[in-house]
A and B are shown apart, each in its own frame.
Chain A
């Protein structure tokens, strides 16, 4: 099944600059329906509105971190099936393992390039 590029994507990062980079890269991939949040708490508020097809989140944020957001999402009946890609500077194996155990769909280490983002999105959504 073809990927619906009109899907609503939530990007979460406490660095406004990174949100802008992600938004621009997603636009170049033709994903234009993008919402932003600057930490896990704000992300959860937006997710409760419903309709999201993908979450792309940083890990290191306050007050709610990316892994805490992931656990909330996976523990919520309405959100638990939303693909969740962690994009983070945390590159230790124990971080990857902890994220996987919490139910992450894929994991991108910063700094990343557009092709890595596209590839990981394709791996969780299907080729586009």
Chain B
């Protein structure tokens, strides 16, 4: 028995009027489901093969949607990532506090050194200098952790985009993707933002000696 006939052109026109040229994944799946249901028994040969493929695609989309939903991406953006970011911020605060405590003590030692003379004073001053130098770790680790936090925020945005693609905000995702596709792949001139990527990992940046040589080339 032939299924109910469907006006495909009208269906597509309705979708276009409602969403423009971007359509939610679930609506695509609905259209395919409707088409398949309407044409049962009417098709043969190549057409039957095409519709079988569409049916498989429909099942695949529904399955993917269910799997993504089961992964609870909202939990990742609402709970896991903010918790991780909070922990990292706490590390920065704790190391800053510890570093300042170390420097408090070092400044007391330096005060004592001022009252001494000769080799004893030199020895204590050298030691306090070394401590101040070593305290610079807090600045470097703080910047590295900030980079990790920014990466987590980037992941959060991407998970949000994935959730949106299977939800009600498809337009937003498409608009973002369109903007990104229009952006230049590799700017010829480095912007100020391009120059803010430090601290570099071992092998990525250059050493103080190499910086000195590079600067000397300008003289």
Q: Which residues of B contact A98 (CB under 8 A)?
A: 190, 195
Q: Are A21 and B103 in contact (CB under 8 A)?
A: yes
Q: Is B204 an interface residue (CB 8 A)?
A: yes
Within the assembled complex, what's the spacing in Å between the Cα atoms of A20 and B196?
Answer: 23
Q: Which residues of A contact B196 (CB under 8 A)?
A: 59-60, 65, 90
Q: Are B208 and A116 in contact (CB under 8 A)?
A: yes
Q: Are B199 and A91 in contact (CB under 8 A)?
A: yes
Most buried by B among A24, A65, A88, A106: A24
Q: Is B62 an interface residue (CB 8 A)?
A: no
Interface range for B: 35 or more
**Of B96, B107, B198, the contact of A89 (CB 8 Å cutoff):** B198
Q: Which residues of B contact A92 (CB under 8 A)?
A: 195, 197-198, 200, 204-206
Which of chain B's residues has its CB closest to A111's CB? B136
**Of A60, A100, A107, the contact of B143 (CB 8 Å cutoff):** A60
Q: Is B142 an interface residue (CB 8 A)?
A: yes
Q: Are B192 and A68 in contact (CB under 8 A)?
A: yes
A32-88 CB contacts (< 8 Å) to partner B: 59-60, 65, 67-68, 88
Q: Are B138 and A15 in contact (CB under 8 A)?
A: yes
Within the assembled complex, what's the spacing in Å between the Cα atoms of A96 and B206?
Answer: 10
Assuming the contacts A17-B100, A25-B129, A111-B136, asked whether A96 and B215 have C-beta atoms less than 8 A apart, the reply is yes
A75-126 CB contacts (< 8 Å) to partner B: 88-98, 100, 106-114, 116
**Of A20, A28, A89, A109, the contact of B207 (CB 8 Å cutoff):** A109
A8 to chain B minimum Cβ distance, whole angstroms, is 21
Q: Is A18 an interface residue (CB 8 A)?
A: yes
Chain B interface helix/strand/loop/mixed: helix
Within the assembled complex, what's the spacing in Å between the Cα atoms of A117 and B57?
Answer: 65
Assuming the contacts A111-B133, A113-B133, asked whether A60 and B208 have C-beta atoms less than 8 A apart, the reply is no
**Of A17, A89, A96, the contact of B211 (CB 8 Å cutoff):** A96
* A: number of interface residues (CB 8 Å): 37
Q: Which residues of A contact B195 (CB under 8 A)?
A: 59, 67, 90, 92, 94-95, 98
Which of chain B's residues has its CB closest to A13's CB? B139
A118 to chain B minimum Cβ distance, whole angstroms, is 10
Q: List 18 A-B contacts (CB under 8 A).
A: A15-B142, A20-B103, A24-B106, A25-B132, A60-B196, A90-B196, A91-B199, A91-B206, A91-B207, A93-B206, A94-B190, A97-B214, A107-B215, A109-B208, A110-B139, A111-B139, A112-B136, A116-B208
**CB-CB nearest 5 A-B residue pairs:** A91-B205, A89-B199, A90-B198, A89-B198, A111-B136
